[in-house]
Amino acid sequence: MKTGLFWPSASALALAWSGSALAQTAPAAAPAPSDTASSSEPEASDSEIVVTAQRRTENLMRTAVSASVLSGTDLANKGVASVDALQFATPSIVVNNFGQGNDFNVRGIGKAEHNTQTTTGVITYRDGVPTFPGYFQEEPYYDVANIQVLRGPQGTIVGQNATGGAVFVNSNDPIVGGGVHGYFNANYGNYNDLGAQGAINIPVGDKFAMRVAFFGERRDGFYHITGPGGAKYTGNKGDLRELAGRISLLWKPTDRLSILFKTDLDYLDLGAYPADPYTDRFRFLPYGSTTPNPNYTDLFHITANSPEGAKDKFFRSILRLEYELAGGIKLRSVSGLSHGHGFYLADLDGTSANISTFGDTLTEKQYSQEFNLISPDNQRFTWLLGAFALWNKYNFLAPYKLFIGLPGFGIPIYYDLQGTNPERSLAAFAQLGYNITPSLKLELGGRYTASRSTNHVLIRELGSFVTPDEQTTKSDNFSYKASLGWAVSRDHYLYGFVATGFRPGGLNTPTFGSGAIPPFGPERVRSFEGGWKANFLGGAIRTTVDGFYNQYKNFQAILGRPNNPRLTTELNVSGTTKIYGAEAEADFKFGNLSFSAGANVLHSSLGQFFAVDPRNLPPATPAPGLCNPATGPVTPYCINLKGQRQTYAPTLTFNVGAEYDLKLGENDTLTPRVNFGHVGGQWATLFEKQQLGDRIEDRNILNAQLAWTHRSWTVTGYATNLTNQHYVGALNSGLTFAGAPRQYGVKVLKTF
């Protein structure tokens, strides 16, 4: 629901975890070597990385796409068990996590606004179906086969929600004929962190198999919270309690037909997401002075007096059917059904001075269906045809479960809302490939999408109804991609492409006295990219280098008062917004030594448009009315934001990792590992005023492990955020949210 209220949004305000301790202990399924590939993820040679995100099996080093692929083992070794930690393991990713919703950006594009109506620019798929686009983002990674991160617009194959990229999370499938195998993992760490996970593959005859996986974790909160005058705070301090499970069934009645069914169940009690005002981060006030700030405090020592809570419950079921027709043509159907219930309470001012609470209780239901016809891979001419449909419905529960105030505690309700926001997207797409020569391939793709979003809501401000409460917006678009790939030799591949994508428009929910506010229109992007992929020394060194240039038309931006959630409006930037940069990735393996690295350099420049930053005004002064977003004029209050950087788009991100296998005998190996991720400083608002807390500083996260393996047992000591950097993981409505502090412990893994 696009409303000023969602600047600190319900399922938006929350702590930016860099991954819980169990995240660092969550291994991928580790079956016997002969069973390392799931039925849906074909095996690859040591020199080949398989990517399936484009609906067919491809060698990443011979595909015209910029992507990173992390296996389940990579995730465990790098300490990645949720979406947050991806930013420290792959380049170009930034995650600012507000808990049940987050800002996930790739190459500076994703979701920088915290509401249901601003669609994401980076969509996540789980086992072939799109997940909820904004809420329910803290689903843990466990028993994962691989994660494929595609960078840049993916409008042809993925659709409207992939202007920045797409993430495909593939869990391990059952293996028919694979015998009984699986793993069990348990961990214990500081903050009384106790967790366990595991999976087992169970054959049922020679044509059917099932796999059962589970995950559980409990952890105490990171915070020391006091109430007014130092009194004891009785609310939730961020204690974590999570349970999740998955059952997968695979039936292969013939060599041509496979039917896969999976259901995930998640109960995620995230405790609470405490935060405090940005001014508490400054040692001196006003900013830049030498006067000590009496409220300066550590990120994890805060005050609060409102009750807090955050809890997600949801399930997702997928049904994937694949049938090979005569001639090798594949018919593929993937159906997905998800239903979730979210609950959230937050201390809106982040202090114990006032009782100001934001609350939201909602349900979300999503159904998706995709059909594909896929030609054989071994033809000079290849093709893919597809149709896609998605229905999503937010239900903000009655009676008025979304509110600012505190019902039942005598606190006046400033704003409350109930109702539904149904959304629909229909699409048809195709991709054609032609090998001009055995080493030169041309690919053309296109996708037509029709989207619709409607508000059926009742809104009250100070008890008075706000009208209108029924609004609809529609967006149609044709996206395309044209690429050329040249295999210069067996070890060198060059590619280039031009691609487009779009995000649909949305609705601006009215506030009291404003009447109808025009909806904002679709955002469109045209991207140019070129790259070089190479293998050296027989595959011991693998490198990728690429450059990209994106032009955005009608860039979507939310404006108003960054520290006042009641007055915001989303609109389209009339000028051309540009985002461009370069990336590099490398993997080295020499004997027992492995090394990986990735980096992104990014520049963003907003097109010309004008906006009022009301923080320039005295508190009682209304914002001036004369500030046309397209024409201005420039005044002390009406600011030309041309050339400003996009929010959450750091100039530099990079990651490095290394490990060495030290053989201690025939059955024993000692493996030290280190991984370091850097996310550069970024702006949380377009106004770029550091003195008003708009700047989020660098994140430098060092993780380390020491693993001893004895046959099928592995004992690992781990530490995350080893230097214990206390950093701001997110900023919203003038409140700062902490990233996770240092965590350490031991985990024990048994494979069978």
Q: How many CB atoms lie within 10 A of CB 288?
A: 9
- Exposed (0-12), middle (13-18) or buried (19+): which is 616, by Cβ within 10 Å? middle
Phi, psi of 587 (to 5 degrees): -130, 130
Residues 6+ apart with CB under 8 A from 573: 552, 554, 555, 556, 557, 606, 607, 608, 609, 629
CB 160 within 8 A of CB 202: no
Structure tokens at 267: 């109960």
Given this model, what pLDDT does residue 26 score?
Answer: 39
CA dist., res. 492 & res. 505, Å (int): 41
Break the chain into its structural domains and give their ranges. Answer: 4-607+642-751
Given this model, what pLDDT does residue 512 score?
Answer: 60
Structure tokens at 498: 């031009």
Question: Beta strands 301-303 and 224-226: pairing type?
Answer: parallel
Residues 6+ apart with CB under 8 A from 622: none
CA dist., res. 398 & res. 389, Å (int): 29
167: left (phi over 0), alpha (psi -120 to 50) or beta: beta
Q: What is the dihedral of CA 681, 683, 687, 688, to 10 degrees?
A: -10
Q: Which of 539, 456, 454 is nearest to 504 (CA)?
A: 454
CA dist., res. 78 & res. 673, Å (int): 9
DSSP 259: E
Q: Which of 145, 164, 168, 144 is nearest to 155 (CA)?
A: 164
DSSP 369: E
Structure tokens at 288: 């830049």
Name residue, tokens 């993925």.
158
CA dist., res. 529 & res. 496, Å (int): 6
CA dist., res. 104 & res. 543, Å (int): 25
Given this model, what pLDDT does residue 468 score?
Answer: 65
Given this model, what pLDDT does residue 42 score?
Answer: 43
DSSP 29: P
> Where in 4-136 does DSSP place strands (E)?
50-51, 58-59, 66-71, 93-97, 102-106, 122-126, 129-130
Structure tokens at 35: 């069973």
CA dist., res. 444 & res. 382, Å (int): 11
Q: Which element (helix H / strand E) includes 74?
A: helix 72-78
Amino acid 62 reads: R
Given this model, what pLDDT does residue 408 score?
Answer: 67
Q: Which element (helix H / strand E) includes 319?
A: strand 309-324
Given this model, what pLDDT does residue 619 score?
Answer: 61
Q: Which element (helix H / strand E) includes 72?
A: helix 72-78
Amino acid 596 reads: S
Amino acid 505 reads: G
CB 708 within 8 A of CB 715: yes
The architecture CATH gives domain 4-607+642-751: Beta Barrel (2.40)
DSSP 33: G
Amino acid 540 reads: A
Looking at 484-527, list the stretches that DSSP marks H as alpha helix, in order from N- to C-terminal side: none
DSSP secondary structure of 577-624: EEEEEEEEEEEEEETTEEEEEEEEEEEEEPPS-EEE-GGGS-TTSPPP
- 3-state class (DSSP) for residue 467: coil
Q: Which of 587, 567, 563, 643 is nearest to 610 (CA)?
A: 643
Structure tokens at 65: 């796409």
Residues 6+ apart with CB under 8 A from 582: 545, 546, 547, 548, 600, 601
State the pTM of this model.
Answer: 0.89
Q: Which element (helix H / strand E) includes 75?
A: helix 72-78
CB 277 within 8 A of CB 299: no
**Per-10-residue mean pLDDT for the chain, 752 residues long?**
37 34 40 36 57 87 91 90 87 80 82 62 91 84 94 87 88 95 97 97 96 97 89 89 97 96 96 90 91 93 89 96 94 97 88 82 96 93 96 93 78 84 95 96 96 89 78 90 96 96 81 68 92 93 96 82 53 88 95 96 92 70 67 83 91 96 95 97 90 93 97 96 94 87 96 96
Residues 6+ apart with CB under 8 A from 664: 670
Given this model, what pLDDT does residue 570 score?
Answer: 79
DSSP 647: T
CB 187 within 8 A of CB 116: no
CA dist 673 → 593, 594, 693 (Å): 10, 10, 36
Q: Which of 541, 472, 582 is nearest to 91 (CA)?
A: 582
What percentage of the chain's residues is helix, strand, coil (to nearest 5)?
A: 5, 55, 40
Residues 6+ apart with CB under 8 A from 143: 28, 29, 72, 171, 172, 197, 199, 211, 213, 215, 246
Amino acid 429 reads: F
CA dist., res. 30 & res. 50, Å (int): 18
CB 404 within 8 A of CB 5: yes
Given this model, what pLDDT does residue 363 score?
Answer: 95
Structure tokens at 285: 């006030």
